[in-house]
Amino acid sequence: MKKRLFPLLLALLFTLSACGGAGSGDASSASAAAGDMSMDTNGWAESADTADGGSADFSAVRQNAKLILRADLTLETQDFDAASADLEKLTAETGGYIESSSLSGDKGSRSAYYTLRIPQEKFETFYAQLGDRAHVVYSSRSSEDITEQYTDIETRLATLQTKHERLLALLDQAGKMEDIISLENALADCEYEIDSLTGSKRHYDDLVGFSTFSVTLDEVQTLTATPEGSGFGAQLTQAAKTGTRGLVDSVRALILGIVMFWPVVLLLAAGGGAAVVITKKRRKKREAEWAAQAAQPLVPPEKDEKK
């Protein structure tokens, strides 16, 4: 009886695996269709508008979909130590953490680079607070919809779990050594796939649960002027601010250069002064010679006497 039942269970297991694979494909297709209706591949869908012409509220879409949110910002500050400490404090208060950070440059022109992980539900709040804490020079954000991939992993995991249970049941009923070895190999392969998919699912959970902020914080003496509109007046105002800032920076750089290279400047000044003195002496000498020649009486040339 056991020998008859064993091949039947093997056939049933094979049928179950095939059905699980088909179910995974159907779930992926359904997820892809739902994702195409609400999201594009780069972020929030522009076609999902309300009936009255206003912008739609994507909060429900973002709760149901699996989205990876990212933001990239370049900030400027004139108080680098306070701004960097404030940034780290804000990250901790939001419930996030610093994934990596680095610092370069000398005091007065330092730059810090942060990779911050912020809970997805705090994405908008943290994004807005960064603009309030420092001068924003550049900012961008994006989202990636991974609902299809995530649903596919969940479906495949459910199928593999069922397959794993069936293999264990068959192993308990196996009597031949070759059958036991074959089932143990199948169990090892199944467990390897389960571990791999579980790791992928955990990685996706981390990316979805915590959005990624790439922040560059630059220490500057003068904040970069940013346009306050897109019209000609705003552009003209920005050009005037940029020109004024350039003039101030040039004067500051000239003064700093003179102070930094004062021995060279002193030598050049001394050499220039000596050259002026020598030139003046030579000019006075030439003028005196010309005056002496002009004071001498003119002597007419003697005529030759004819013999």
- Token pair for 264: 């060279």
- 166 SS3 class: helix
Look at residue 233 in the predicted model and tell me its pLDDT: 58
Q: Could you tell me if residue 34 is inside a domain? A: yes
Look at residue 35 in the predicted model and tell me its pLDDT: 39
Q: Could you tell me if residue 53 is inside a domain? A: no
Environment class of residue 243 by beta-carbon count within 10 Å: exposed (0-12), middle (13-18) or buried (19+)? exposed
Q: Could you tell me if residue 192 is inside a domain? A: yes
Look at residue 268 in the predicted model and tell me its pLDDT: 81
Same domain, yes or no, for 138 and 244? no
Look at residue 265 in the predicted model and tell me its pLDDT: 74
- Token pair for 242: 């940029």
Same domain, yes or no, for 97 and 134? yes
Same domain, yes or no, for 23 and 159? yes
Q: What is the pLDDT of residues 34-73, one digit of tens each?
A: 334 333 333 333 333 333 333 334 454 556 789 999 999 9
Q: Which residues of the chain have pLDDT under 50?
A: 1-5, 8, 12, 18-58, 60, 307
Same domain, yes or no, for 133 and 214? yes
Same domain, yes or no, for 114 and 214? yes
Closest CA to 61 of 76, 92, 40, 81: 40
- Domain range for residue 242? 234-284
- 89 SS3 class: helix
Q: Could you tell me if residue 61 is inside a domain? A: no
Q: Could you tell me if residue 158 is inside a domain? A: yes
Count of domains forming the chain: 3
Q: Could you tell me if residue 302 is inside a domain? A: no
Residues 6+ apart with CB under 8 A from 153: 197, 200, 201, 204
Same domain, yes or no, for 215 and 104? yes
Q: Could you tell me if residue 46 is inside a domain? A: no
Q: How far apart are CA 72 and CA 114, in angstroms?
A: 10
| pLDDT > 70 fraction of the chain, expressed in percent and rounded | 67
Same domain, yes or no, for 131 and 276? no
> Which CATH number fits the domain that encloses residue 92?
3.30.70
Same domain, yes or no, for 72 and 139? yes
Look at residue 40 in the predicted model and tell me its pLDDT: 37
Using CA atoms, how far residue 236 sits from 31, 135, 233, 244, in Å, is 50, 21, 5, 12
Q: Could you tell me if residue 278 is inside a domain? A: yes
Same domain, yes or no, for 28 and 131? no
DSSP assignment string, 23-77: HHHHHHHHHHHHHHHHB-SSSB-SS-B-TTSSB---HHHHHHS-EEEEEEEEEEE
Same domain, yes or no, for 153 and 181? yes
Same domain, yes or no, for 135 and 215? yes
Same domain, yes or no, for 137 and 170? no
